[in-house]
Amino acid sequence: MKREILLLGNEELYQISEPVKPDEIETLKSVVQDLHDTLMDFREKYHAGRAIAAPQIGVKKRLLYMFIDKPVVFINPVLEFPDNEMMEVLDDCMSFPNLLVKVMRHKRCRIKYLDMEWKEQVMSLEGDLSELLQHEFDHLDGILATMRAIDNKSLIIKK
């Protein structure tokens, strides 16, 4: 079911999400479906959107959903950075669809997570996918891209 995406300024977006427990995996299936449906609806409206975090639809769990070539569910993800190389990017967000924010992100990251079978997985990412997962991971800790803006001139309205 398509859910409402919480928008910039909603206090719920600034809360830290709780870890998913093993006995919650069955109830997560409907949340994952809602994340998928919400992401696809956003894509249809805005022609953008590759991933979404559960807190963006009001679910305070450490859960991310990415759909690029195929769906990937990240349960209780942990980010690691293999080096300190950074890149400047214009970050966008489904919680503020007409705003771009200039931020610095790690060029490479490694994400450890559990899949829907509760099996440990690891994925190494670089460039735009590294930025994407860092952005989504921030949502789990109540951090928005606006809070990472390089300076007070780093906000841009999309036309």
The reply to whether 117 belongs to the active site is no
AA letter at 92: D
Return the exposure string of 116-127: e unless at least 16 CB atoms fall within 10 Å of the residue's CB, then b. eeeeeeeeebee
Q: Which residues are annotated as a binding site for Fe cation?
A: 93, 135, 139
Give the sheet arrangement for strand 63-67, strand by strand: 51-53, 63-67, 71-80, 108-114, 120-126
Handedness of CA 45, 49, 51, 54 (dihedral sign): negative
* Cα(74)–Cα(62) distance, integer angstroms: 8
- The residues carrying an active-site annotation are 136
